[in-house]
Amino acid sequence: MSSGSLTAATPETGGGRAFRPGPRTALAAAVVAAMVIAAVLVVVLNSGANRAGRVHVTKYGHLPSWLPNISNSTSKLEVARPATPVLHEEQGFTVRAVLPHGATNITAVGPQIPGWVASAEQTGKWPDDKPVPGKFIVTVIDAGGTVPVASGAFTILTDGGQIVHPRVAVEGGGRLPLTLHPGQHINLAVQGGVAEGSGSIRWAPLGRKVLVGWIYQVELD
């Protein structure tokens, strides 16, 4: 489509009285022109929107109901690599973990504290400095390659610097695998003592060096 100004048909521009349309013809031509312009605008706008807003969405099966909804406005995931670990992510946020032989998205949520703990603490039946039972749910999803999920890879670091080795099991029951392969995902129940205040749940799939750490907060009041 070329752009430019429209000029009236006059004898000076190559037209004459015989080429001027009547009122009904002019009205019909105007309606057709408006429809053509509208159609062109729709095509152009849709094409531009597709180029600017195209989002590739991949589904990995049914996500746990407690996970927050993921929308197109979700910020880009932090990426943890052995040379550049992510050690201070907030619990509830997903990290993309890139390993030598695989990669995965991993999220830690929690801790969940039993309901009786707050009452026992308020009545003095539970000492303030005594750790309380805590449960984290760790979701490992969108595995690619080989991703180790051994129970010994998880630790809890308390505010006082104590390292807790939690119990790790498959949430809902089942045998804990040593590794995940492409297309597999798993929810893990990671349980251990947590003290009031802040702490960190950590994942070290390649040995002693922590790859991902999530900061959590425990309040018993």
| Per-residue pLDDT tens digits for 20-40 | 344 433 434 443 344 434 443
DSSP helix/strand/coil, 176: coil
Contact assessment for residue 210 and residue 203, using Cβ atoms and an 8 Å cutoff: yes
Give whole-number Cα distances, 43 to 36, 38, 40, 69, in Å. 11, 9, 5, 32
**Residue 108: is its pLDDT beyond 70?**
yes
Range of the domain at 31: 11-53
Work out the angle at residue 58's Cα, subtended by the Cα atoms of residues 52 and 60, and round it to the nearest 5 degrees. 160
CA dihedral 66, 94, 104, 65 (to 10 degrees): 10
Order of strands, edge to edge, in the sheet holding 86-90?
Answer: 86-90, 212-218, 197-203, 154-157, 163-164
Sign of CA dihedral 23, 27, 33, 37: positive
Query: Are 47 and 89 in a shared domain?
Result: no
Cis amide leading into 64 (omega within 30)? no
Query: Are 37 and 92 in a shared domain?
Result: no
Among 37-41, 128-132, 192-196, the range of highest mean pLDDT: 192-196
**Which of 170, 154, 161, 169 minimizes the C-alpha distance to 214?**
154
pLDDT band with cut points at 50, 70 and 90 for residue 141: very high
- Predicted pLDDT of residue 220: 76
More confident of the two residues 54 and 126: 126
Query: Are 40 and 98 in a shared domain?
Result: no
177 in a structural domain: yes
Q: How far apart are CA 53 and CA 48, in angstroms?
A: 8
Burial 65-96 (b: 16+ CB within 10 A, else e): eeeeeeeeeeeeeeebeeeebbeebebebbbb
What is this structure's pTM?
0.65
Query: Are 206 and 117 in a shared domain?
Result: yes
More confident of the two residues 142 and 50: 142
Query: Are 175 and 117 in a shared domain?
Result: yes
